[in-house]
Structure 1
Amino acid sequence: MEKQPTPPPGGTVDLDMVKVRSHLDARDVDIGQVLETHATPEMERKVLWKLDLYLIPLMGFCYMLQYMDKLALSQATLFNLTEDLHLKGKEYNWASAVFYFGYFAWSWPSSYLIVRLPLGKYLSVAVFLWGGILMCHAACKSFSGLMAARFFLGVGEASIAPGFALITGMFYKREEQPARQAAWFIGNSIASVIGGLVAYGIGLIHNHSVNSWQLLFLVLGAITSGYGLILFVFLPDSPAKVMFFNKTEKSVALQRTLQNKTGVMDTGKFRWGQVLMAIKDPQTWFLVLYTLCVNFCNGGITSFSSIIIAGFGFSNLKALLIQMPLGAAQLVFLLLTSGFATYVKQTRILMMILNALVSVIGMILIWKLDSHNRAGRMTGLCLGAVFAANIPLSLSLISSNVAGFTKKSTVSALMFVAYCVGNIVGPQFFIPSEKPGYPTGIKAAMSGLVLGIFFLICLYVYYMWENRRRDQLYGSPRQLTEAEELQDELSNKTDGEIDSFRYVL
């Protein structure tokens, strides 16, 4: 006999108000204000407008700096970094990959610290330190020194994307998250567009005491550390600590996201039981395997795009400018697919499959077109970068479909571990003797994208099956009162434990 949904208990809620008050008071939230505030549509629009105006630019500019800093090593090769540091054989490949060893090493400690520490302050300090480490690249004199600098740069950057994904889930409703994840991720695309232009400008500076590649690291690192100080002041730790909200707006901001049931207010305590639940959850491993496979492509394209473009017959400085269309193509598909997923429900995974298919077509063009067909192969490289537009969509799946703050941070950490492994393995297929065409690397990247599409299809089928199973077992989700929504939000339960939770596709 099917279990029916439990009816509301006569307008009352079995809610331990003392416990809830203590839980929220620790975060400077007035429980009475939250439950008594009647948020009008006009108030919600005002809060949403303020969030978009202040929060998205803060995160977007930071993410732009992160990708520009990541591209800096590839750009530095055009300024004779490999010759000055006497890199031989696959040493450049390993210098590219060791960044992700640092990223990997810090993913698990970061998932713990994100829960235990004030989120905004933790991320700000990480940004400040990563900028300083980037500046240290200019002091490298050998392969070993470059390896050390790249490792610690990965440590510094490991917290940023998972942290921004958690902030987005903390402040926005589930249906709002794809557009907002995409909004701050646009910084990645803008960096691809203007990064080459910035490097080109730095390359025109002639200084006999500092090499162009050293100046590139010094300038970008100084800007990043300076921005870390700005984030320390303005990036909030939670909806209760937004400096540009009054008390009523803070209550409205919290009320807006109660229906998410993803435990964004359950911070300050790391719950090991939720770690085990994350490991047992099939959605975790479909996301992890997808991320691992597609980053075979990411590792190669990010590290070797400058060399591949130079191999099309362009000069070193022109190769920096020619990278701009890669970011433009990524930006176009990011806006199209994230916008579509925002306004058409249950299409996030379908849009991710579309982006990956476009990248597969791009890889085929690079692989099969004649080496003299520069326009066609460059088009392929632009399309090959489109899969990166899936990153905000995949992050929105985590923020919308994983409940429990510790479980969410664990799944994020596992996904970014897979991101690191993929980026470590991917460049190893780019064999130095095949420079600048790298056919083995291109085929490996294409294979990874195809496998990624397969795991996205598996995830889509799993979500559909699980939602139908829950509908049959518990009935359709009913509309809860604000007090009941608050109880679910503070219940420390995961998506697998809340009967009314349904996955978005």
Structure 2
Amino acid sequence: MDSASDHSEKQPHNAGNAVKENDVDIAAAFALGSDAPLDPAEAQRLKRKIDLHLMPLMCILYLMTFADKITLGQSAVLGIIQDTNLTQTQFNWLNTIFYISYLAFEYPQNLALQKFPVGKWMSINIFVWAVALLTHAACKSFGALFAVRFILGMCEGAITPGFMIVTSMFYTRQEQTRRVGYWFLMNGMGVIFLGLIAFGLIHSKVGILESRVPLSILTNLIQTSNFQPWQWLMIITGLVTLLVSVTFWFFFPDSPVSARFLTTEERAKAVQRIKVNQAGIENKHWKRDQFIEAFRDPKTWLLALFVASSNIFNSVTNQRQLIVQQFGFTVGQTTLLGTVDGAVQILTILSGVSLVRYIGHAYAAVACYVPAFIGSILLNTLPSHNKIGLLFSYWTSIYAVTPYVICIGWMGSITAGHTKKTTVNAIVLIGYAVGNAAGPAMWKKKYQPRNRVPWAILSGFCFFSAVVILALRTLLLLENKRRDRERSDDDKYDDVYVAHVQADGTTIEKKVDRAFLDLTDRQNREFRYIM
């Protein structure tokens, strides 16, 4: 450090560029004296250690939250509709209310993620989530199910944005999309996990399933005097989630600067490793100017529009068991085939995020929409007796899930400034809630069994979403070119100092790298948007 900074109590080093401690990123103190590039071998070792401690926890939690979320869809063929006297409209509303609640609580959840420790806040929400899931088993009416689904939606609002924040804290921009893909593909594992449990519950009650047993007869066969298979499904998944929430509380870090699995030296290196992001780690101080900038930034609204339109397809999640059964498969076959849905989703996400490395985020998303569009068209045009063709067309349409995964991995790489990032996350995930809330309205009883109208609508949204994400790429590309043409004399953030009051009352000033000034992507003209 410059020796002049040691005497800053009497003579500030640069009063014009002095900032308060709560205005800079929490990583600023760890970055001091760490301007030299991190040794590549050491950076790789550190990344492996972070992966080893973070990825298993993130993956198991995301697996359980998704499995819990789709228990309603799985329960549709296990008797919940008959046992609680639901109509098709009420069943659709149970899907919709989840996302209306998600929408209402999304910004408060993101604000809480900025104010409180990220890992601890997610743990609290997932604990409440698990309790709400367990209470599903006691529900006997639409009103009761409506209430617990509302609570699930409220808690869900903390999970995805929390994971997005943590991923951007620990990983470079080039690494983030792949890591998002890793924990998001647990959705597919959740489908497999839930499908196997459901099949086991059916099998344990009726022995070997007869291929021609109608649903109404099967429902009577699997009934017991106390619990139905769908209730056991809620209890099993709820208890596992409860255990995961407790584990998460004790072992998941809130940020690199407080991660217990890293030594003090490794924490400083972890901060230095992500310095290239030009986005810092986090700042607990809410900034009004960043909040306003998030609303004024056109890319915020393109991201929100894309996420809203792309998640219309997500309405398939809770309809998929009914869709496949209406192709002509039995309940047992439908339950087992549901596990293939999960495997297909894993493969599509892995292929999509891998494609990003070669052709970029926007083009990879568009490439995934091509098979999804074709699958949606085939679902409308193949004859009804070709149930195998319809099944494979349905699996092909699952590619439509992947562009959203690519997008949320991209979001953290093109947005900087902690208040701005949490605000953008909230706006975009409100778009996610809007798309998911609107989607179930398509799946009306009158369109069954082929559901031609919903599939036609979904194919249209695939095309529209592809256009939106290409527009976003064009906007970012033009902005990068504009910044490249600017004169490189923007040095007002190159000589900034933060005043720190020590325990003995003396004040010292420390120079802060612009990467840790908690600047937004628009303020920091050295920031470049990755494609």
Q: TM-score, normalised by structure 2?
A: 0.86
- What aligned pairs does 1:330-479 form with structure 2 within 5 A after superposition? 330-342=345-357, 344=358, 347-474=360-487
1:73 maps to amino acid: L
User: Displacement of 1:17 after TM fit?
Assistant: 11
Q: Which has the higher helix share?
A: 1
Q: Distance in 2 between matches of 1:357 and 1:476?
A: 44
Going from structure 1 to structure 2, the CA distance change for 1:114 and 1:356 (only over 3 Å counts) comes to: same
Q: Distance in 2 between matches of 1:309 and 1:20?
A: 59
- What aligned pairs does 1:62-461 form with structure 2 within 5 A after superposition? 62-206=61-205, 207-265=224-282, 267-299=283-315, 301-342=316-357, 344=358, 347-461=360-474
> What do you get for the CA RMSD once the two structures are aligned?
2.7
User: Displacement of 1:325 after TM fit?
Assistant: 2.3
Q: Distance in 1 between matches of 2:340 and 2:495?
A: 48
Q: Distance in 2 between matches of 1:403 and 1:38?
A: 21
SS at match of 1:489: helix
Q: Where does the alignment leave 5 or more consecutive residues of structure 2 unmatched?
A: 6-12, 206-223, 498-510
Larger relative contact order, structure 1 or 2 (CA cutoff 8 Å, min sep 6): 2
Q: More displaced, 397-406 or 316-325? A: 316-325
Contact 1:426 1:444 in 2 (8 A): no
- Residue identity over aligned pairs, in percent, reads 28
Contact 1:170 1:264 in 2 (8 A): yes
Going from structure 1 to structure 2, the CA distance change for 1:436 and 1:248 (only over 3 Å counts) comes to: same
User: Displacement of 1:199 after TM fit?
Assistant: 1.6
User: Displacement of 1:324 after TM fit?
Assistant: 2.1
**Number of equivalences:** 489
User: Displacement of 1:330 after TM fit?
Assistant: 2.0
What CA deviation, in whole Å up to 9, does each residue of 1:5-64 have, x standing for no partner?
A: xxxx9xx997999968787897795554x5378732222122101111110111011111
Query: In the alignment, what sits opposite 1:3?
Result: none
User: Displacement of 1:179 after TM fit?
Assistant: 1.2
1:292 maps to amino acid: A
User: Displacement of 1:89 after TM fit?
Assistant: 4.3
Residue 496, structure 1, aligned to residue 513, structure 2? no
SS at match of 2:77: helix
What CA deviation, in whole Å up to 9, does each residue of 1:94-118 have, x standing for no partner?
A: 1111111111111010111010000
Specify the structure having the higher radius of gyration (Cα).
2
Q: Distance in 2 between matches of 1:492 and 1:308?
A: 48
Going from structure 1 to structure 2, the CA distance change for 1:15 and 1:423 (only over 3 Å counts) comes to: farther
Q: Distance in 2 between matches of 1:276 and 1:23?
A: 17
Contact 1:44 1:256 in 2 (8 A): yes
Query: In the alignment, what sits opposite 1:41?
Result: 40
Contact 1:295 1:448 in 2 (8 A): no
User: Displacement of 1:454 after TM fit?
Assistant: 1.0
Contact 1:312 1:371 in 2 (8 A): yes
Residue 61, structure 1, aligned to residue 91, structure 2? no
Contact 2:27 2:516 in 1 (8 A): no
Q: Distance in 2 between matches of 1:356 and 1:451?
A: 10
Q: Distance in 1 between matches of 2:477 and 2:30?
A: 38
Contact 2:290 2:420 in 1 (8 A): yes
Going from structure 1 to structure 2, the CA distance change for 1:493 and 1:36 (only over 3 Å counts) comes to: closer
Contact 1:37 1:251 in 2 (8 A): no
Contact 1:331 1:389 in 2 (8 A): no
Q: Distance in 2 between matches of 1:482 and 1:16?
A: 10
Q: More displaced, 184-193 or 53-62? A: 184-193
User: Displacement of 1:391 after TM fit?
Assistant: 3.0
2:522 maps to amino acid: G
Q: Distance in 2 between matches of 1:382 and 1:229?
A: 35
Q: Distance in 2 between matches of 1:26 and 1:364?
A: 50
Q: Distance in 1 between matches of 2:376 and 2:133?
A: 31
User: Displacement of 1:490 after TM fit?
Assistant: 3.0
Going from structure 1 to structure 2, the CA distance change for 1:196 and 1:115 (only over 3 Å counts) comes to: same
SS at match of 2:523: coil
Contact 1:115 1:409 in 2 (8 A): yes
Going from structure 1 to structure 2, the CA distance change for 1:315 and 1:486 (only over 3 Å counts) comes to: farther
Q: Distance in 2 between matches of 1:197 and 1:85?
A: 24
